[in-house]
Structure 1
Amino acid sequence: MQRNQRLTTLARRGVLAAAVAACALPGLTLAQAFPSKPVRVIVSFPPGGAADQIARAVSEPLSQALGQPVVVENRAGANGNIAGDFVAKQAADGHTLLMSSGGTVSINPHLYDRMPFDPTKDLVPVAAAARVLVFLEVNPQKVPSNNAREFLAHLKANPGKLSYGSPGNGSSPHLAGEMMKVQGNVFATHIPYRGAAPAMQDLLGGQIDFMFDPGIGLQHVKSGKLKLLAVGSPKRSPQFPDVPTLDEVGLKGFDADTFFGFYAPGGTPPAVVARLNTEINKVLRSPAFQQRMDAIGAIPAPMSPQEFGDRGQADSKRFGQLIRERKIKGD
């Protein structure tokens, strides 16, 4: 009797194990078959910006790891909505990815009354890439300030006379400017551009006075064409340890950092997402990627898909309050 019960229990366990294996098999098969063709990375901002540079730093080593070409395409506009909507409508097989600031998911729903897609359902987090800091830079030919405290005093003494650029309404550099205006009780005119690169060109040319730079202008800081006054992060930049944070100069709790990363269409199989996450994280830990990020002052940020998604939700709460208070709308 006991022997028969043992046999029955073993049989049941065998059936259960077979069922679990059968359920896992499609995911394993998909992961093994992926990729079966070139992978497209759709960048939500124009060439030259932080998102574009990060995408291109990842694409070549990712191509080698996957054994397929990884092609970068730029589809700028609407603070990432154009690229996000395009990717959301592609086949959910991992062959089309979005590279964007986390703002496409965490900020845009607060900026636009109507979204062409639902970021929380139509996109899934794949992998964070880098923590992108914003650097408060001024054109020294137009702004006489030598440090952040002098600059805030200069803004306060000249309300509305200075202008600053950003990659667009609702971008992290724009929100950094709004934070500074609120916390510093100052006013400056915001000029939105279609990307960080054209805004940087106008800063260098003197058409605008300052900018919260997502890192693409640091080469001009080192050459003396721009002056770096502060960092809009909770901690000082490892590259510029002598440059204070805005928190240190009186704007308590100032944090305008964002995480840039990769997303896939909603419904992409978890096994494919896991494969991409693993390979991208390997790239992020490489010395070559670290060197590329050093050039724009960004910090590699390997995460699991869940951690990346949780960060987006936290940023949504943090930035959403500012957007509502300042009545910011998408362009």
Structure 2
Amino acid sequence: MRRRSLLALPALLPAAALAQAEWPNRPIRLVVPFTPAGTTDLTGRLAAELLGKRLGQPVVVENRPGAGGNVGAEFVARAEPDGYTMLLTTIGTGAINFAVYGDRMPYRPQDLAAVGLLMRVPNVLMVPPGSTARSIAELVALSKRQPGGLNYGTAGIGSSPHVCGELFKLMTGAEMTHVTYRGSAPMLTELMAARVDAGMDNIPSALAFIKDGKLRALATTGARRSAVLPDVPTLDEAGVKGFEATAWFGVLAPAATPKPVIARLGRELDAVARDPGFRARMAELGGELPALTPDGGTAPEPFEQFLAAERMKWAEVVRRSGAKVE
């Protein structure tokens, strides 16, 4: 009788509980809310490969760009919370956009659950190689001297480069107009062709063009010089005292995703962030470690706390700079 009851137990369990016990039993989708070839895409594809190996199921990257990442993020926020759809979030989709878009945001912070942080990375301010500006001081002076000022491009409204650019204007008085693109790749192409006067981007997606001499880096946005651009000063070193900002990349899931699934994803993502190959590749691109836990890793709860702090920080920057979507 007891054996018969135990055999019948699976039929009595809720379908959701059974699904969790079997998770994952099919491919998982990782939505990257920007175009291919940018820093977000590069990070997402490497993380997806390693995460898939750990979970025993393919993690397939799906690019859904638009509206500063909001198109892809909203898609994940509205997706079935079954552990098979995740978001490769950026500082924009996870923090800045809530301030930049305001009431026009198509999702709320509580619509997405924190899984973990993968890496942080400074931005870099660049000009085409033919630009007469060879320093930050010269760029600011040129912007004030040239009728109508200068144009500067970024990968999208609400992105870390966008808000960094607006903060740069606020702190230097530079006369610069923002030009937004649907991702890093088109912006960098336009910048190399000198169809915009300057550009701000994450170091990884711009690094190869800087090293090949196709773009000239004037300054980076971190607290210290980037290991991959050691000859390029920080903005603080270049005279913009107190300037410090880094982009970051992590993973979010639909809010109602079962907690056991989030916990498992968090553990596996932490292992990915610690993976020597992943860390080496991110270091080559200028990325820095997540360092949210005492031992230098990541986890859902500290990442949620990190997200809340970032939203508060960037809301104040947006308020001061006026970097709103009208």
TM, length-normalised to structure 1 = 0.86
**Aligned 8 A contact 1:27 1:271 in 2:** no
Give the C-alpha shift of residue 93 in structure 1: 2.0
Q: Secondary structure at the match of 1:131?
A: strand
Give the C-alpha shift of residue 213 in structure 1: 1.6
Moved more, 101-110 or 63-72: 101-110
Q: Distance in 2 between matches of 1:312 and 1:201?
A: 32
**Aligned 8 A contact 1:102 1:258 in 2:** yes
What's the counterpart of residue 15 of structure 1? none
The one-letter amino acid paired with 1:286 is D
Q: Distance in 1 between matches of 2:273 and 2:83?
A: 19
Q: Distance in 1 between matches of 2:222 and 2:17?
A: 41
What CA deviation, in whole Å up to 9, does each residue of 1:256-311 have, x standing for no partner? 31221110000212221121111122122223212332343222324211222222
- Return 5+ residue gaps in structure 2 as ranges: 1-14, 291-296
Q: Distance in 2 between matches of 1:169 and 1:183?
A: 19
**Aligned 8 A contact 1:92 1:265 in 2:** yes
Q: Distance in 2 between matches of 1:173 and 1:125?
A: 23
Q: Distance in 2 between matches of 1:50 and 1:225?
A: 18
Give the C-alpha shift of residue 31 in structure 1: 5.8
**Aligned 8 A contact 1:175 1:256 in 2:** no
The one-letter amino acid paired with 1:238 is A
What's the counterpart of residue 157 of structure 2? 169
What's the counterpart of residue 203 of structure 1? 191
RMSD between aligned alpha carbons?
A: 2.1
What's the counterpart of residue 27 of structure 2? 38
Of 187, 209, 214, the match for 1:225? 214
**Which structure has the larger Rg?**
1
1:76 and 2:65 equivalent? yes
**Aligned 8 A contact 1:28 1:271 in 2:** no
**Aligned 8 A contact 1:173 1:256 in 2:** no
Aligned length: 304
**Aligned 8 A contact 1:39 1:94 in 2:** yes
What's the counterpart of residue 324 of structure 1? 319
What's the counterpart of residue 177 of structure 2? 189
Moved more, 301-310 or 47-56: 301-310
Give the C-alpha shift of residue 32 in structure 1: 4.6
Summarize the Cα distance change of 1:145–1:115 in structure 2 as closer, same or farther, 3 Å threshold: closer
Identity across the alignment (%): 40
Give the C-alpha shift of residue 211 in structure 1: 0.9
Q: Distance in 1 between matches of 2:163 and 2:270?
A: 28
**Aligned 8 A contact 2:224 2:234 in 1:** yes
The one-letter amino acid paired with 2:320 is E
The one-letter amino acid paired with 2:197 is D
What CA deviation, in whole Å up to 9, does each residue of 1:114-170 have, x standing for no partner? 32222x2110110111102101111121x2233333333333433633211011122
What's the counterpart of residue 10 of structure 1? none
Give runs of aligned pairs for residues 150-169 of structure 1, distance below 5 A: 150-158=138-146, 160-169=148-157
Q: Distance in 2 between matches of 1:67 and 1:94?
A: 14
1:115 and 2:105 equivalent? yes
Summarize the Cα distance change of 1:307–1:252 in structure 2 as closer, same or farther, 3 Å threshold: farther
What's the counterpart of residue 134 of structure 2? 146
Q: Secondary structure at the match of 2:185?
A: helix
Summarize the Cα distance change of 1:52–1:203 in structure 2 as closer, same or farther, 3 Å threshold: same
**Aligned 8 A contact 2:91 2:159 in 1:** no
**Aligned 8 A contact 2:127 2:197 in 1:** yes
1:62 and 2:51 equivalent? yes
Summarize the Cα distance change of 1:154–1:99 in structure 2 as closer, same or farther, 3 Å threshold: same
